[in-house]
Structure 1
Amino acid sequence: MSSSALLPTTRVLSLRDVAVDHDGHRALRGVDLDAHAGRLVVVSGPNGSGKSTLLSVAAGLLVPRHGSVEVRRGARVALVPQSTPLPPHLPLTVADIVAMGTWARLGAWRPARKTDRALVAEAIAGVGLTDLTRRPIGTLSGGQRQRALLAQALVQRADLVLLDEPMAALDARSRAIIADAVDQLTATGAAVVAVTHDPGEFRRIDQRVELEDGRVVVSRAGA
């Protein structure tokens, strides 16, 4: 399955009455959330409101205390974490990181086909990193690394893309490029759930969810 095969009405992710205990406290309390193909759900709220915990539950990294988490059968899931410093001599280039997006289809050690190499090059160009294709990933700025990870998600053709503060502490150019990449992801049919402190960073929001103390206090279409 690829995101292009899903109709806009297809529900890719569903959370129902989800409660999570994390680090000794109740991090989520009775949370409901849906994500549909080709649509962007933006989750906002103050620090400690449960935003990152929600993404971890959606990605299958945390098991809820109760409630249900359903991801459409066969859906590919991509989790793009917050940008973190990397060793400058890490022996992986931008092209290597982006090409990892093909592994779900090809396997980690199978040689890339011509079409896959073209897809990697197209994704790198789409996030404005063509001139840095052979640059070690650890030497890039935070914004450049974040753009490379989004390019990886584009190449993966994920049906569900989970973004954790994708524009935090980035310059204006990187924020604009990432906003473009998010638009591209939804245009190809991916369901995107993005956590942010500032919903205004995104150009078009299909569903806005606001958390406070682990509860949904706002859930409305558009923004």
Structure 2
Amino acid sequence: MSSTPLLLPTTRVLSLHDIAVDLDGHPALRGVDAEVHAGRLLAVVGANGSGKSTLLAVAAGLASPDRGTVERRAGIRVALVPQSTPLAPHLPLSVTDIVTMGTWGRLGAWRPSRRSDRDLVRDAIATVGLTDLARRQIGTLSGGQRQRALLAQALVQRADLVLLDEPMAGLDSHSRAVIAATIAHLTATGSGVVAVTHDVSEFTAVDDVLELQDGRVLRRS
């Protein structure tokens, strides 16, 4: 994969200010501020129900805050990597197909890919250690292998902002190590990364930590 930075490390790609979200009458977020910069990993930690997933949804644009402002740098590309979920074994999509979907933002769905995009897909699959499984149907892979394929899809998007929802949850030690190394690669090449996690030690290096409790910021460092 290319090591050319996408943006300068000081570039702010996302700013959340005074974010409040109510879900079914329950305050999921209460006055949360956060910033994400290019080339840095922000770990969002907290117990279940603390508001981590809601914050990620707001950052991705999948949920609108009831109060507060969301500012994304103009023109940035955003990639969201959800938690790995079970897939039907008969789903007729290979690892290569799943990763190739990451190029659709540039090419459009189902349009013929260029050689440069095929090379990018191949390199991303190699980065997450799935070259030998590139033709395997995605539904037949283990949870860790599927999560690595979804992360490879984010790699080929060349996103400026990458949002990860508990990327290590329930995975074997090898997959956790590969994902940690891939996240380090993302920040080294200029992506701003937000990762929801229960354990910041899962990552090779964390630049910023935002700890939530009952929808409020308990600690930032």
Same fold (TM over 0.5): yes
Deviation per CA, 1:151-196: give whole Å up to 9, x if none. Answer: 0000000000000000001000000000011011111100000000
Residue 36 of structure 1: how far off its partner (Å): 0.3
Give the letter for the 1:81 counterpart.
Answer: P
Give the Å deviation of 1:24.
3.1
Q: Distance in 2 between matches of 1:21 and 1:179?
A: 33
Q: Which amino acid aligns with 1:40?
A: L
Equivalent AA in structure 1 for residue 79 of structure 2: A
CA contact (8 A) 2:39 2:190 kept: yes
Matches for 1:1-223 after TM superposition, within 5 Å: 4-220=5-221
Tell me the alpha carbon deviations over residues 180-219 of structure 1, each in whole angstroms, 9 at most, x when there is no partner: 1101111110000000011110011110110000001111
Moved more, 106-115 or 154-163: 106-115
Structure 2 unmatched ranges of 5 or more: none
SS of equivalent to 1:154: helix
TM-score (norm 2): 0.97
Q: Distance in 2 between matches of 1:218 and 1:112?
A: 45
Cα offsets for 1:63-122 (capped at 9, x unmatched)? 101000111111100000001001110111000000111111111122111111111011
SS at structure 2 position matched to 1:210: strand
Root-mean-square deviation (Å): 0.9
TM-score by length of 1: 0.96
SS of match in other structure, 2:5: helix
Distance 1:177 1:166 in 2: 11
In structure 2, relative to structure 1, the CA distance for the partners of 1:204 and 1:196 (3 Å cut) is: same
Aligned residues between the structures:
218
What SS class does the counterpart of residue 4 from structure 1 fall into? coil
Q: Note the residue ranges of structure 1 that are not aligned, 5 or more in a row.
A: none
Post-superposition, which runs of at least 4 consecutive aligned residues in structure 1 deviate over 3 A? Answer: none
Deviation at 1:58?
0.3
